[in-house]
Amino acid sequence: MHNHVHPKFSIITVTYNAGAVLEDTIQSVITQTYRNVEYIIVDGGSKDHTLDIINRYREHIHTLVSEPDKGLYDAMNKGIRLATGDYLCFLNAGDELHEDDTLQLMVHSITGTELPDVLYGETAIVDEEGHFLRMRRLSAPENLNWKSFKDGMLVCHQAFFPRRELAEPYDLRYRFSADFDWCIRIMKKSHTLHNTHLTLIDYLSEGMTTRNHRASLHERFRIMCRHYGYLSTLARHAWFALRLLLKK
């Protein structure tokens, strides 16, 4: 059965002084066997050798912006505005597409002639050398919908590929968890969320920035209240707190 869909992927990497980890990310995109891809890099005006690395691969990068921005999510909003593809994928510096044929396999997993609103899958956690450490603690649900994130961010932001038409800007009021809110808002508008049943992303474990962890949890709480209501969120968090205690 030949697949009739041939979606274009807009892969967006936001960088700022990411010279140490960027090259692997770029290579994982430009070696994809699936060719209907535009690669967009939004750099915040790096002072390290980030731009040297980008320029080495300049012919493979469709759009490059390098200028100061108001932070991560502002840069990601620029990426959305520059994108022309069917699907968006935000691949952070240090993260990689899991295999050279990941996009090809994703497209092959789509049955029928309609493009789903969201494609999603699993995430592997890797170390600096790209060696597999473990799968992400939260695994993707068999059937994803906007209420799924009541249990936390079950799909890693990088492994969540929404249709570009459905994507709104990230809400800059959230400094750490705007991606959580963004995914929920997109899922609310989505009818078909397609589980690729694939590992899509190798996520670089830098021991999750604990510095901002508390702030990001506060934001998530606010975001969950906004989407799921206060009482429901409070009840969930009592359970989260208990789970954390049991895990220790």
d(Cα 51, Cα 90) in Å, to the nearest integer? Answer: 19
Other beta carbons less than 10 A from residue 173's beta carbon: 11
Question: SS3 for 241?
Answer: helix
Other beta carbons less than 10 A from residue 136's beta carbon: 19
d(Cα 164, Cα 9) in Å, to the nearest integer? Answer: 9
Q: What's the mean pLDDT in 210-224?
A: 86
For a pLDDT cut of 70, what percent of the chain falls above it?
96
Find the angle CA(36)-CA(38)-CA(40) to the nearest 5 degrees.
Answer: 165
- At 215, list the tokens: 């702030």
Please provide the average confidence, as pLDDT, over all residues in the chain: 93
Q: What's the mean pLDDT in 198-227?
A: 85
Q: What's the mean pLDDT in 18-33?
A: 96
Predicted local distance difference test score (pLDDT) of residue 102: 98
d(Cα 204, Cα 218) in Å, to the nearest integer? Answer: 24
d(Cα 183, Cα 146) in Å, to the nearest integer? Answer: 8
Predicted local distance difference test score (pLDDT) of residue 241: 80
Q: Which residues contact 211 (CB under 8 A, 6 or more apart)?
A: none
| Reported confidence tier of residue 243, pLDDT bands at 50, 70, 90 | confident
**Is residue 112 predicted with pLDDT exceeding 90?**
no
pLDDT digits (tens, 9 = 90+) for 54-98: 999 999 999 999 999 999 999 999 999 999 999 999 999 999 999
